[in-house]
Structure 1
């Protein structure tokens, strides 16, 4: 399993995914400035929304382009090989963002900025899929 960069704090999963999406295919090479890039992206994405509450899917869409849709695995897989940010969470609220980068045997695999690994989406401890930011 290849180590990817980890998010610098517990509120920057969204900006971490955006930075990775914008710097592919150069990752997972070590990025000494990753933390600074993520924190700057967090400020840029959240001009109105409080950063303490994370990053909205609409801010991610504004940065990467595309459209926000409710999560449907078929749509996410059809959008590949373009990276697809996916919002995961509890039954009540989205809490985490991962970046789906590929599929293996029909299963979406995502970069998880909390762990710094690429793993099957189903392996996440967050069971509910809320939104996907699909490319245009």
Structure 2
């Protein structure tokens, strides 16, 4: 399934054109990742894109940070100015895949990589600097040598070598340190 999701991501991005699936503001990377996951997991004929990308991502961001989730269940509200909380991304990916997703703090990068390697896709990865998580990417494929992900700040598919993960040199939207994995 990883190769399939990776190929679907490339097709989706190609169909959207330049900047077509770039996050609409600096706070919506988590929501953009969830919307792309939704598109990737949809029926291939319906995954050509979103009619109004910006509106879809911002609406999803409000849902992910609000008092109620997409199903109407109560969730811990979160200030949108702080981005998207990992537990909300986990809940949204779980709803899309039918598998419970779990957020885990990256204490050991090797263990975190192995967790991604063993996880069904898609998954999410929170990255930042050494003090704080600052950005979310959607992981669509992992093998022993690389991670392939949707990078919302540029709206592209990106490949991160395993060595860059191990050395905290991810360079995803300018952020290097893996902070959280969100896996099913």
Q: TM-score scaled by structure 1?
A: 0.87
| Shift, 1:114, TM fit | 0.4
Tell me the equivalent position of 1:10: 26
SS of 2:153's equivalent in the other structure is coil
| Aligned structure 1 segments of 4 or more residues deviating by more than 2 angstroms | 1-4, 25-32, 103-106, 121-125
Q: Report the Cα offset of residue 106 of structure 1.
A: 2.3
Length, aligned pairs only = 134
* Bigger mean CA deviation after superposition, 97-106 or 7-16: 97-106
Say whether the 8 Å CA contact 2:90–2:102 is kept in structure 1. yes
Does the aligned pair in 1 maintain the 2:127–2:179 contact within 8 Å?
yes
- Partners of 1:19 and 1:41 lie apart in 2 by 7
Deviation larger for 96-105 or 9-18: 96-105
CA apart distance, 1:113: 0.4
Pair 1:104–1:14, CA change in 2 (3 A): same
1:1-136, aligned counterparts within 5 Å? Answer: 3=14, 5-25=21-41, 26=44, 29-47=48-66, 48-65=77-94, 66-71=101-106, 72-80=112-120, 82-103=121-142, 106-121=145-160, 122-124=170-172, 125-135=174-184
Distance 1:64-1:92 versus aligned 2 partners, 3 A rule = same
Q: Which has the higher helix share?
A: 2
- The structure number with the bigger radius of gyration is 2
Q: How well do the aligned residues superpose, as a CA RMSD in angstroms?
A: 2.1
Structure with more relative contact order (C-alpha pairs < 8 Å, separation 6 or more): 1
The alignment's TM-score, normalised by the length of structure 2, stands at 0.66
Do 2:125 and 2:139's aligned partners in 1 also have CA atoms closer than 8 Å? yes
